[in-house]
Amino acid sequence: MRATTIGFIAAGLLAGVVAVPAEAGCTRKIVNKSALTALVSRDGGPWVAVPPHRSQSIRLTQPGRVDFALVCGAGGPESAVSRTSLTYSAIIDRCYYEIGTGFFEDQLGPGFVPGTQDTAPLTANMPRQGDVVIGPRVEAGCPAEFRAAVHSRY
């Protein structure tokens, strides 16, 4: 009788664990190593500023898109010197930016073939899948005064 009761309790606990729906999502980092301010928007939401030489966490919860705009000093995304959009996948606890065309993706992994998609000045999926590193040298599109001030500081 005691073994049967313990068995029912264990089965009930396992059924409760199995019945909980799985939720896709990961928290990843956007690291700005440049002298520019990075503006980041996920799935068309509000823009978030990542100041120079700082990082910001981002939650990737379902497949979507992240927009990046790099601005010289203060300003909005309309004054960006560089704009890039990357699509991402979030599957249970695995999040990554989709890079490339899918050519030999099953055999070699996503983004293996060089030249399939240029993400410069961003480095996507490094150091972890879903992370993005910006920079360090991306101020070429800024006014000469901004570039001179940056070079005198760094």
User: What is the pTM assigned to this prediction?
Assistant: 0.70
Q: Which domains are seen in the chain, by residue range?
A: 23-153 (2.60.40)
Q: Strand, helix or coil at 140?
A: helix
Please name the residue ranges forming H helices in the chain. Answer: 2-19, 105-108, 144-153
Q: Which amino acid is at 150?
A: V
CA–CA distance, 127 with 125 (Å, rounded to integer): 6
Asked if 86 contacts 97 with a C-beta cutoff of 8 angstroms, the reply is yes
Strand intervals (E) in the chain: 26-32, 37-42, 48-50, 54-60, 64-71, 82-91, 94-97, 122-124, 132-134
pLDDT digits (tens, 9 = 90+) for 6-17: 655 666 555 554
pLDDT digits (tens, 9 = 90+) for 4-55: 666 556 665 555 545 445 566 889 999 999 888 999 999 999 999 999 999 9
